[in-house]
Structure formats: structure tokens, C-alpha cells
Amino acid sequence: MPSVPHGGRLVSIEQVEQTPEKAKDMLEGQKITVPYETRVTIFNIANSVFSPLCGFMNLADYENVLENMRLVDDTPWTIPLLLHVPQDFRADPGDLISLVDDHSQPVATIECEQVYDISRKEFAMKVFGTEDEAHPGVAKIYSSTGHILAGKLQKVAKFSNNPFEDCTLVPKETRVLFNEKGWKDIIAFQTRNAPHIGHEYVQKTALSFADGLFINPVLGKKKSGDFTDQAIVDSYRTLTKNYYPKNSVVLSVLHYEMQYAGPKEAIMHAIMRKNFGCTHIAIGRDHAGVGNYYGPYAAHDIFKEFPDLGIQAIFMREFFYCNKCGGIANEKICPHAETDRLTFSGTKLRKMFLSGQTPPKEFMRPEVSQVILDSKNAFVE
């Protein structure tokens, strides 16, 4: 049975076609232009990925999340969800504000609850644990205004031009799907990469103890050198088609901008997958990390602070190929030295692909390698 939604309910916000007739009343009042990433966040709020939130956070929730990793009603929440607006923006509580895209097309309407300012340095320290601007999350918060509009979304324009429409499921759909499949224990797997053998072993090890596996790759803005969205989707489609039992796996993408907040983001990843109905989530090495900002297993430790999270983390060690074992192993089950091990390095893989080489089959399934080699743009520039 799918997990209960976070905070006890699935948020439902009216969604309309983004056409001049149907969205006409969404263009009344003050307008704010929002970037694509905000549009994606709004799509996720409207489709209950961020339940129980039905809009952008007010000051009380913001402060409580920073200080206590919980909303003011005590619901676990580790990264504030904020709408940054231009510094000169002013509005009164109750005002209806139109959010538009960069073509002035309606995205959503939001009822102003509050306008407030935050300290971006405090945000950086408390969310990312660093003020280093080389950290992509810190760089992003420093480039934002820190002037915040809080309020509930009233009406949202449907997300048009989604190139991955046929593999984008929202929580209410996955919940029905899991029920139809009769799955009770459902493991979520979060990823932002094309799958190598190490990923496959994490997924299959977790699946061995569950009824179903929900592979939920993150698509959207990433950093240079990451796999492109198309490469991720194509490679996962190939892997699941060739190497997974059809009735044990669901592949669906999540449009979401990575924050690279390490352990705190691991909790948010778990909350989102709980809303999709998953009962468990696989948490591997350096989950949602970047560079050396977080310990390799920091994302494992943080789960101890949330006995009421409502989704169980399954902590996985890093898998590698061991020459002496003659197969895939991890440090818990392999006694051999590091010199006997072939680790699945993303950097190494990227170099091989960029020079036109096919990685060895111990590293990546040949069918998956071929999909990436055939791709025109497998990596973000």
C-alpha cells in the first residue's frame, strides 16, 4: 500500500490550459516574471510533489525550517521553498499576483500572504553548511534577491511543452499505479545520472526486499558535465527494458532543480518520493552532494533525526567491481584491497564517452553505453 502523503494530505490546485481564453483572468493584477525553474517548482506544488505545501513559505515556516528542519506544524522539512521577487516588489496581504513566464504567458496566480526579506548568508550556512560561492546552491542563493513573496497558489497553468510528457507521472498517478500493481513495499531510487553497473546493483539489492522499484530520475537544470536529460531518460529506458522484470519497476521522471544540499536534500528527496507513494528510499554514497562539502555518508546520519518522516531510508554502500571476487561487491561484503577494485567513477565514464570509447561491460551495460555514444549531446556543456 502506498505511503500516506507527507503532512497527511495530497495538495490539489486548480490547473488550466495555458490558452488566452482559459488563462485570461490569470493576467490581472501585478505581474512577476518567473524563470523556468520556478515554473517547474509551481508544477510540483500544484501536483502535490511538495505536499503539504500549497504555495511558497511564509516567514514563520522559513525560520522554523532553517532552525529546526520542520514546518511550524512540526512536519519534517529541511530546505525552504521560497519565491524570490524583484527587490522593489510591494504587495499587501490578499493581493492576487500573476506569475508569468518570459513570454508573458501565465504560469500561476498567487495570493499574497506576506512579503519579507531573508539573509542569504544565513540561508547558505544553514542549508548548505557553507558560504563558499563555488558551491552551486550557494551561488544560486547569492544571485537571488532575498526579497520573498509568500502565499498560496490559486490557479496554475498546465505545464506545456514538456518533452518528457510520456514519462512524467505525478503523485496521484503513481499512487493509483502502485495500487493497481498490488505493490506494498515500494523503493524509490533518486538519480541524476545515466545508470552504470553500480547504480543497477543498488537498485536490484533494494528491490530484492520490496515489491516494486520506482526509478525517478531528476530532469532539469544541472551543472556542466552532468548527463543531459535525454541521455538519462534514453539510457534508463534501455536498461529497464533489457535487464529488469517488467512488473517490478516503474520509470518516471521528476522535473526538479538539484540544490546539491547533501544530507538536507536527501530528506527532501525522501519527502517527495513519499508523496509519490513510496514506502522506502535508497540512499547511497554522497547523496545529493557536490565536491567535498559533505561527508560521503552524511546523508545516512541525518535520517536518525526524523523518526516521524513516514518513509524508510535504505542505506546503501558504494558498489564496485572486484577483480578478486570476480564480480560486483561493496565494502561490507568484499575483503580485498582497494587496488583490486574498479570503482564506478562518473568522471572516468565521461572521459571515456567524450573520447568515443565504450566503457567495459563491468562498468556499464553495453546497450546503455551504446545509447550514450549514439546521443548527440550526452553531457551538459
Query: Given candidates 21, 180, 338, 381, which one binds other proteins under the rule CB under 8 A?
Result: 180
Which one of the spans 4-12, 85-93, 141-149, 254-262 is the region binding other proteins (CB under 8 A)? 4-12
Of 59-67, 127-135, 142-150, 281-289, the segment contacting other proteins by CB under 8 A is: 59-67
Q: Name the H helices within the chain.
A: 36-46, 59-68, 120-123, 136-143, 171-181, 197-207, 229-243, 262-275, 298-301, 346-354, 366-374
Q: Is 17 in the site for other proteins (CB under 8 A)?
A: no
**DSSP structure string for 344-374:** --HHHHHHHHHTTPPPPTTTS-HHHHHHHHH
Mask for 71-110, x = binds other proteins (CB under 8 A): ---x------------------------------------
Asked about 285 being catalytic, the answer comes back as no
Nearer to other proteins, 183 or 319 (CB): 183
| Contact between 139 and other proteins per CB under 8 A | no
How many residues are listed for the chain in this entry? 381
Identify which of residues 28 and 73 has a Cβ nearer to other proteins in the complex: 73
DSSP secondary-structure letter at 209? T
Pick the catalytic residue: 120, 175, 192, 317?
192
Please identify which residue in 47, 64, 228, 238 interacts with other proteins, judged by CB under 8 A: 64
Residue 193 a catalytic site member: yes
Within 285-345, where are the H helices? 298-301
Selected catalytic residue, list 193, 216, 275, 330: 193
Q: CA-CA distance, 178 to 247, in Å (whole number)?
A: 11
Which residues are bridge partners to 152 per DSSP? 55, 111
Quote the least distance from Cβ 49 to other proteins, whole Å.
14
Any residues with CB less than 8 A from the CB of 326 and at least 6 apart, and which? Answer: none
Q: At 364, which amino acid appears?
A: M
Per CB under 8 A, does 151 bind other proteins? no
Grid look-up 532552525 returns 67
Nearer to other proteins, 137 or 310 (CB): 310
Measure the CA dihedral 293/296/299/305, to 10°.
Answer: -100
Q: Is 10 in the site for other proteins (CB under 8 A)?
A: yes
**Catalytic annotation, residues:** 192-193
Binding region for other proteins (CB under 8 A): 4-5, 8-10, 62-64, 66-68, 70, 74, 122, 126, 166-167, 169, 172-173, 175-177, 180, 250, 304, 307-308, 310
